[in-house]
Amino acid sequence: MPKEIRFCTPKGEYWFLSPLAAFPIKMTVDDADYIFPSVEHYYQAMKFYASDKRFDVILKLKNPDEARLLTKTVEYKINRRKDFDINKFNIMEKALYAKFIQNPDAAELLKSTGDAILIKSCPVCYKCGFGEGSGMNRMGKVLMKIRSEIQK
């Protein structure tokens, strides 16, 4: 087992750690239940209220990276929830927990990382604070916390 595991995209041996990996999660948003194809779909959709047509567009996209890129367009940037930025880390953490609690296969894969340090090493994540480049490695820390809890 490696001492450190670096991940970014849903490719390679540790593909399952990526929020783009296709593990569906059921989440309640604005008092209704939705099935999101990935953590990334949920994260991007949460930039909008469920009543907003953009929420539905994101939910229906097949590719999670399309959802990420779509929310970077002007129309999506200027219409997002005002409280998203202050809640984005909690949103991601909640979605990651759901991924590993609701998907036993994903939980087993996470457990198989042993006690390796998990590092989200992705250049596009630098600004949002989840990436290694920010010096915070928030996503890696959350994944290690989840791993510790599900190993018990």
List the domain boundaries for the chain. 4-151
Least confident of 22-26, 28-32, 33-37, 117-121: 117-121
pLDDT of 132 above 70: no
Q: In this structure, which topology does domain 4-151 adopt according to CATH?
A: Tetracycline Repressor; domain 2 (1.10.357)
Task: Tell me what the mean pLDDT of segment 49-75 comes to.
Answer: 96
Q: Residue 118's beta-bridge partner residues?
A: 5
Structure confidence by residue, pLDDT tens digits, 96-124: 999 999 999 999 999 999 999 998 887 66
- Say if residues 67 and 61 touch (Cβ distance below 8 Å): yes
Does the pTM exceed 0.75? yes
| Rounded distance between C-alpha atoms, residue 4 and residue 137, angstroms | 13
- Say if residues 79 and 52 touch (Cβ distance below 8 Å): yes
Task: Tell me what the mean pLDDT of segment 72-98 comes to.
Answer: 95
